[in-house]
Amino acid sequence: MTSSTHATSPAAPPDTLNARIGVLTRREVEARILAPLIDALGDAFGREAVIAVVREAILRIARTQGAQLAGVMGSNDLPAFAESLHFWTQDNALELEVLAQDEERFDFNVTRCRYAELYRSLGIPELGAVLSCNRDGALIQGFNPAIDLERTQTIMQGAACCDFRYQRSNPQDGA
């Protein structure tokens, strides 16, 4: 399928799944469908190539979802983004330790991640980052490209916590 095919497809209705079923349940449904599909496509076309295509598709989806999230929240500033985390923490999916939160910064650690636990329980820990963690940077780009995310570690990778550090970008001097 070419990208021109995507351009002529009718627009999908608004995505309300996160609000209706929560992100953790959504990720489980997606993983249960995608993992066997990725395996089959990997057997036919090479796993690394398939994972690369899936990763890029997930990033595009996350950017679009970020822009849609800003619309749902009615703002694309850091306080609105912080408020939106209820979608990801629903059903105790994440345990957070907030370190700093104001108009310029939103820093927190995830001390428990049921998403990582989910992918491990499904026997696909290697897909966890592709299907979940990698979305975070693209999501914030779509939500507000003037907000940067720095994260140096994740529970999915085996760290004790995920370190999320969001900050409004500094305007460039003379720009």
pLDDT of residue 10: 64
Over range 159-173, report the average pLDDT.
85
174: in domain: no
| Both tokens assigned to 88 | 């990801």
78: in domain: yes
Quote the CA–CA distance of 132 and 54 in Å, as a whole number: 12
46: in domain: yes
Q: Say what the alpha-carbon torsion angle 100, 62, 60, 146 is, to the nearest 10 degrees.
A: -30
Query: How many separate domains does the chain show?
Result: 1
In this structure, the strands spanning 105-113 and 147-150 are unpaired
CATH number of the domain residue 120 falls in: 3.30.1380
175: in domain: no
| pLDDT of 4 over the 70 cut | no
| pLDDT of 3 over the 60 cut | no
Q: 113 has which bridge partners?
A: 94
pLDDT in tens, 9-36: 567 777 777 777 788 999 999 999 999 9
107: in domain: yes
| pLDDT of 158 over the 80 cut | yes
Of 78 and 13, more confident: 78
152: in domain: yes
Q: For the stretch 63-99, what's the b/e string if a residue is b when 16 or more beta carbons lie within 10 angstroms of its beta carbon?
A: bebbbbbbeebeebbbebbbebbebbbbeebbebeee
1: in domain: no
16: in domain: no
pLDDT of residue 18: 74
Contact 76, 168 (CB under 8 A): no
Indicate the range of 21-35, 53-67, 142-156 predicted with least confidence. Answer: 21-35
| pLDDT of 122 over the 90 cut | yes
The rounded mean pLDDT for the chain is: 90
Per the structure, the complete domain to which residue 28 belongs is given by: 21-168
Quote the CA–CA distance of 111 and 98 in Å, as a whole number: 10
pLDDT of residue 171: 53
Quote the CA–CA distance of 170 and 165 in Å, as a whole number: 15
| pLDDT of 5 over the 70 cut | no
Indicate the range of 10-19, 54-63, 100-109, 138-147 predicted with least confidence. Answer: 10-19
Look at the pTM and tell me if it is higher than 0.75: yes
Task: Give the residue among 169, 34, 24 at the shortest CA–CA distance from 85.
Answer: 24
Task: Give the residue among 121, 138, 150 at the shortest CA–CA distance from 31.
Answer: 121
